[in-house]
Amino acid sequence: MTSTVQTNNGSIAGGIANGLLAAAIVGLFLTIGKIVFQEVSVIFFSFCVMAGTNFFYLLYLLAKGKKASIIKAGKSYPELYLVGLFAATLTLMENWGLKLSLPTNAGILMRADLFFSLLIGYFLWRERLRPLEWVGMATMLMGISQVLQLSLTNFHFGSAGDVMLLGSALLLAVNAEIIKHRLHGVEDIIVAYFNSGICALAYFALAISHNELWPLPQASGLTWALILACTLIQVTHYLTYYRSLHDLPAWLARVLCLATSVAAVLSSAWWLQEKVTLHQIWGMLLVTTGIILLCWLQKRRSGGDNMNAVAVPGKFL
């Protein structure tokens, strides 16, 4: 089912491309969400997207005769359920945290998963960043602070929302490590099937408790079309993100996710006519510089050590 191979420049390039694509489409997802939320709630939207995503995966797997593979994976890898549970929990914690936390705190704490990934990588796998990798990561973080217009002087940790956001960041980092190191023997689409299914069940329960499934929202045809578009985006995001986790160190895959903020600003400026400031443009240049530096360093590193030997499962297509 799998074969263990040494990460080379080809898989590094593919991992980087998938990571950036995952970040870009999430940025677009967030922009579309701003439009959809004008007519439906976050809970209803999230349930529709996750249920639709899970249904798409199920149809594809059954069409490919993968029913036995689903059952076998469910019996052999209890981590599949843990990943789904963590994903549902961290999403709910993030949503509640955003309501209870200050905007500056939320913007900073939601990036804490990167530091948790670095800590986990160091203590469990002895992954160490080289000086220029720290420079590249710091450059990206400075750029993100400019894109999101964040200021550390306004950061004051202590509210319940801050704790929830920090907890969601920790679960996100843990999930990335589980997927990379414990589920490398499972096809990406099967991991995504279990993840989206458990998340859909969590949102279904939440929607029922809030009476949001009946009657259906009085949404326009455009809104329903955008929900369908977000579902297709989510389907693609799971697979591109998981592929980047297989081909890259978990910390680098998480770093590339920082580009989501840039994609969200650009797509909002294009679609919603939101103004982009000079500070944000400067921040985008810093983020781009950091990405280029980190990707170049990772390609160099992949040629000289064995730190990224990974198991490569069967591909989606």
How far apart, in whole angstroms, are the C-alpha atoms of residue 211 and residue 240?
A: 34
pLDDT of 190 above 60: yes
Higher-pLDDT residue of 188, 299? 188
Q: Are 22 and 244 in contact (CB under 8 A)?
A: yes
The pTM for the full model equals 0.85
Q: Is 304 exposed, middle or buried (0-12, 13-18, 19+ CB in 10 A)?
A: exposed
pLDDT of 310 above 70: no
Q: What is the pLDDT of residue 142?
A: 92
Average pLDDT over residues 299-313: 52
pLDDT of 6 above 70: no
Tens of pLDDT, residues 15-36: 999 999 999 999 999 889 888 9
Q: What percent of the chain has pLDDT over 70?
A: 92
Establish whether the linkage from the previous residue to 313 is cis, with ω within 30° of 0.
no
Phi-psi region of 198 (alpha: psi -120 to 50; beta: other; left: phi over 0): alpha
pLDDT of 306 above 70: no
What is the 3 state secondary structure string of the chain?
A: CCEEECCCHHHHHHHHHHHHHHHHHHHHHHHHHHHHCCCCCHHHHHHHHHHHHHHHHHHHHHHCCCHHHHHHHHHHCCHHHHHHHHHHHHHHHHHHHHHHCCHHHHHHHCCCHHHHHHHHHHHHHCCCCCHHHHHHHHHHHHHHHHHCCCCHHHCCCCCHHHHHHHHHHHHHHHHHHHHHHCCCCCCHHHHHHHHHHHHHHHHHHHHHHCCCCCCCCCCCHHHHHHHHHHHHHHHHHHHHHHHHHHHCCHHHHHHHCCHHHHHHHHHHHHHCCCCCCHHHHHHHHHHHHHHHHHHHHHHHHHCCCCCCCEEECCCCC
Tens of pLDDT, residues 60-76: 999 999 999 999 999 99
Q: What is the pLDDT of residue 96?
A: 81
pLDDT of 8 above 70: no
Tens of pLDDT, residues 77-125: 999 999 999 999 998 888 788 777 777 777 788 888 988 998 898 888 7
Q: What is the pLDDT of residue 5?
A: 37
Q: What is the pLDDT of residue 106?
A: 77
pLDDT of 226 above 90: yes
Q: What is the largest CA-CA distance in the chain?
A: 60
Backbone phi, psi, residue 184, to 5°: -70, -15
pLDDT bin (cut points 50, 70, 90) of residue 128 is confident
Q: What is the pLDDT of residue 4?
A: 38
How far apart, in whole angstroms, are the C-alpha atoms of residue 76 and residue 258?
A: 33
Which residues are registered as beta bridge partners of 312?
Answer: 3
CA angle 162, 237, 8 (to 5 degrees): 105
pLDDT of 256 above 70: yes
Q: What is the pLDDT of residue 159?
A: 80
Q: Are 237 and 168 in contact (CB under 8 A)?
A: no
